[in-house]
Amino acid sequence: MSTRFLSPALTRTFLPGRASGPSPAPVLLAALAALAVLPVSAQSQLPDMGRRSTVYAPRAAAATSQPLATAAALEVMQQGGNAIDGAVAAAAVLNVVEPHMTGMGGDAFSIVWWAETGELFGIDASGRSGSGMTVEALWARGRERIRGAEAVTVPGAVSGWSALVERFGKLTLAEVLAPAIRIAQDGFPVTPVIARQWGGVSEMLARDEGARATYLVDGERAPRAGEWAANPDLARTFQRIADEGPGVLYGGSLGRELVDGLEALGGFLTLEDLAAHEVRWVEPLSTDFRGYTVWELPPAGQGIAALEMLAILEPFDLAGMGHNSPDYLHHLIEAKKLAFADLHRYVSDAETMEIDPMSLLNPAYVDARRALIDPAVAADRVGPGRAVTDSETIYLSVADADGNMVSFINSVYSSFGSGIVIPGLGFALQNRGAGFTMEDGHPNQVAPRKRPFHTIIPGFVTRDGEPVMAFGVMGGSMQPQGHTQLLLNMLIFGMDPQEAVDAARFRHLSGRRVAIERVSDEVAAELEARGHEIADWTRTDFGGAQVILRLARGWAAASEPRKDGHAAGN
C-alpha cells in the first residue's frame, strides 16, 4: 500500500517568521479602502459565535480551502518567494491534503496581477483529448457518454505551475514544491469536510487498483477526520518533477508510465499527446459593472457566463430589491438561466468556437436577453440567443508585499477525477473528457487533441486600471452564479470579504429547480408563487469561495466556511 494512515495526531505547524521585503503596495483609491468595512445588513450574517472575521494583513495574504496550503503559501513567500510562488506551492499542497478536488492529474487556470508593469495576465493550463479519442471510437465501444480511462485528457496543471513560476516567480519550481513533498512524505491529519467528502466516494476508489492502494486505509475505507495520512508515492512523483522539470511528465519517463497504465485500461492518450502539450497565455475578458471592471478567462472556460450575468443585471435596482429578497433572487436566477443557455450552446475549445465570445456581451445582444426576464414568472427551459456574428475543484488567492495578486484554480473535475491512479504515481487523473458532447455538429463535440468545455474559472476585479480583488467560487456550474453573488454582496451591498463569503447563496439546478441556503418559508413561498421549484438546500453543494481584497495599505482576506478553508497573512 502506497499511502500511510495513522491514528489522529497533531500536525506540523508552519510558523511564519519575521516578514521581510519592500514596503507595502501603493495606496489605492479611498473608495477601495473603504469597501472592506462598509456596513452590512444583519440578515446576511451568521450568528456571531459561528462566524469568522475577515483577516487583515499588512504585507502578504493567502486564502485557500485547507490550512496547510495557506501555511505553505506564506512559508514560501517568507523564504523569498512572491505571490506566484506561494500560489503554486499552495496548489501542490492541496494535491496532497485535498486529493479528491485537485492535483497534478488535473488542469489549472490563473489570473495574475503583475505589479511591476501594472498588467493582468491569464494562463490556461488545460489539456487536450488523446489523439485516439473520436466519436467513432466511442460508438464502436458502445458508449453514450465518456467516462473512466476514456475521459482522461492531458493533465495540464504541472505545465501551468511551471510556466507561472518560470515567468513570474522568484524561486525555482523545486523550492516551490518542497512543502508539498514534505507533507506528502511525512503525512498530515485529515480535516473534517475533506474526510466526509473523501468517504463519500470510497466505493468508487475501491474499483481501481491504484486508487485503492493510494487513498483507502487498508484498501477498505477513507481516512476519518483527524486520522494521519501520507502519500509517499506522490512525494516521489513531485521529487521527480523537482529534479527533472515538467518534461519528465510531458514526454519523459513519468509520462510513459502514465500512458502505459492508461492504455491497459482503454485510455486514448499517447506519449506524443503529452509531449505536444503547451500552456496558453491568454488575454482575460471583461465587462464593466457599477464602476468596476470584472475579469474572467476566455473559453473553453465558463467565465463568459459570469460576465453575461452581470451585464444582464446591470440596470436593475438590486439594492432596492434587498439582499436575497424574492425579487432579487428571482432576477439573479433568471439571468443565470439566460447566460447558461448561451454557454452550453456556444462555448467550446477556442479553436472550434463559432462566435467571438465577446459577442455575448454586445450591448444589443444583452438587452435582448434581459428583455426575456419576466419579473413575475420563472422560466422553464431557456434557449440560447442568436449570437452576434459535478465538479471537484480548489480555488485560492495569494497576494504579496510587492502588490502582486494571484487568482488561481485547479481541478480534477469529478471527485478524484476519473477515479484512476496509475499504481506508484500517487495522484488521480482528471476526467475532463466527460465535458465533451457526442452531439453531431456541436462546437464542443468530442474530437482528437481538442480541449473540452471547462468549468473552472478564476476571477479578478479592477477599478480605473488598479487592482481591487482576486476572487473565485469553486464548484462546477456553481462557479459563474457564485462569482456573481459574491461580487454583488460586496459591490452592491457593501459586505466585507468574509461577510460576502458567508452570506447565503442560491444554486440554480435545472429548469425551475433552485436550492437556496437558509431560505425562510416566506421567501420560498413567494418564489414558488412565481413558478420556482425550491429544492432541499441541505443536500446541495454551494461551492467554496476565497477572496483577497486590496486595501489602501495591506490586504483583507476571507475563506470558505463551507469547506475547511483558511485565510491568513503576515
Give, for 416, the enclosing helix (H) or strand (E): none
* β-strand pairing of 228-230 with 466-474: unpaired
Q: What is the 3 state secondary structure string of 214-244?
A: HHCECCCECCCCCCEEECHHHHHHHHHHHHH
C-alpha separations of 102 from 106, 354, 475, 562 in Å = 6, 31, 12, 17
Show the cell assigned to 183: 507533507
- DSSP assignment string, 45-75: SPPGGG-PPPEEESS-EEEESSHHHHHHHHH
Supply the residues annotated as catalytic: 393
Show the cell assigned to 240: 521527480
Residue 17 CB-density burial (10 A; 0-12 exposed, 13-18 middle, 19+ buried): exposed
d(CA 81, CA 19): 12
Q: Which residues, 6+ apart, have CB-to-CB distance to 405 below 8 Å?
A: 83, 112, 113, 115, 397, 398, 399, 460, 467, 470, 548, 550
- DSSP assignment string, 254-293: HHHHHHHHHHHTT----HHHHHT---EEEPPEEEEETTEE
**Contact present, 104 and 118 (Cβ < 8 Å):** no
Identity of residue 11: T
C-alpha separations of 561 from 350, 395, 520 in Å = 35, 14, 21
Q: Is the peptide bond before 63 cis (omega within 30 degrees of 0)?
A: no
**Contact present, 474 and 393 (Cβ < 8 Å):** yes
- DSSP assignment string, 126-137: PPPPPTT--HHH
d(CA 214, CA 193): 19
Give, for 338, the enclosing helix (H) or strand (E): helix 326-346
* β-strand pairing of 280-282 with 119-125: antiparallel
d(CA 301, CA 483): 14
